[in-house]
Amino acid sequence: MLPREHGAWSLLLTPFFAALLIAAQLNLSVAAALVAVLAAFLIRTPLVVLARQHWTWRDPRPESAQARQWLSWLLLTLFASAAALIFDWGWPAALSIGAGVLALTFAAVWMTVRNRQRTVWFQILSCAGLAFSAVAAARAATGRFPLWAWLLWGLCTLNGAAGVLVVHTRLDALIARKTGVANNRYRLSAWCAVAISALTAVAIAATGRPPLALAPALASAAHAVELHAMNLDTRLTTVGLRAMTLSIIHALLLAAALSATY
């Protein structure tokens, strides 16, 4: 029942812990936020299994019983952590974030049941949703929604979106090599994402904060190299681990720069 997507784990946890590095504070609210973030992420898999059992599969599957057990424990964990956050944050902040998490979770279940979970626009939306853990961590640690949390969220989302488009460009190239039919649906979009990341770095540097520009500059350079010198013989597992390493370095650079700035 544990999600196997290394990229999703990275997009969820690196912004969260980067925010904690910047805030340099730990408290019970942070622990509750981490538990809530993990429970909300993990609950998707059992929900998908049970949705498929209800709408897709004709016969009962053994994994459905396991999914019910996981769902029971995760719901209990999620409700307990959410109650703690509501008590600490107040209703407006906790419920507004909770509503967004709930909407994204049900959207992910629906898309997965319909086998559309790899749709590019939804993966990019998921990047934004997962990276929002940075804002939750900042709220838990500082008791407010600081500007640096939104910057961290935006830059992590941009890196994740570029990574999604680069991966789809690679998949198109692999299909083209296998079928002999050229397919460049995502190459232009990927290069546009790289350009946006590079321009973001330039804009940040122009405001007098070169250290903060280093992370998007590194990300755009790494994605550009991947697009330009794409080795189709590299295993997708290796590509995924490389992307995860980039996201970790990217988040650490942002944490160092934002800590010095704010």
Segment 216-227 mean pLDDT: 96
Q: Using CA atoms, how far apart are residues 195 and 174, in angstroms rounded to an integer?
A: 24
Say whether pLDDT at 2 is over 70: no
For the packed helices 28-42 and 6-23, what is the interaxial angle rounded to 10 degrees? 170
Residue 123 confidence (pLDDT)? 95
Q: Is the pLDDT of residue 10 over 70?
A: yes
Tell me, what's the pLDDT at 11? Answer: 92
Task: Classify residue 2 as exposed, middle or buried by CB count within 10 Å of its CB (0-12, 13-18, 19+).
Answer: exposed
91-113 residue pLDDT tens:
888 889 999 999 999 999 999 99
Provide the mean pLDDT of the chain. 92
pLDDT tens digit string along 42-53?
999 999 999 999
- Indicate if the alpha-carbon torsion angle 219, 221, 224, 229 is positive or negative: negative
**pLDDT score at 198:** 97
- Position 254: which residue type? L
Q: Examine the pLDDT at 5 and tell me if it is beyond 80.
A: no
Does the predicted model carry a pTM greater than 0.85? yes
Q: Which residues contact 190 (CB under 8 A, 6 or more apart)?
A: 162, 165, 166, 168, 169, 223, 227
| Mean pLDDT for the stretch of residues 140-145 | 95
pLDDT, tens digit, for every residue of 178-205?
Answer: 887 777 789 999 999 999 999 999 999 9
**Does pLDDT of 217 surpass 90?**
yes
DSSP secondary structure of the chain:
-----HHHHHHHHHHHHHHHHHHT---HHHHHHHHHHHHHHHTHHHHHHHHHHHHT-SS--HHHHHHHHHHHHHHHHHHHHHHHHHHHH-HHHHHHHHHHHHHHHHHHHHHHHTT-TT-HHHHHHHHHHHHTHHHHHHHHHHSS--HHHHHHHHHHHHHHHHHHHHHHHHHHHHHHHHHS----TTHHHHHHHHHHHHHHHHHHHHTT-HHHHHHHHHHHHHHHHHHHT--TTS-HHHHHHHHHHHHHHHHHHHHHHHHHH-
What Rg do the C-alpha atoms of the chain give, in angstroms? 19
Are 148 and 22 in contact by the 8 Å Cβ rule? The answer is yes
Question: Confidence band (pLDDT; 50, 70, 90) for 1?
Answer: low
What are the tokens at 181? 């039919």
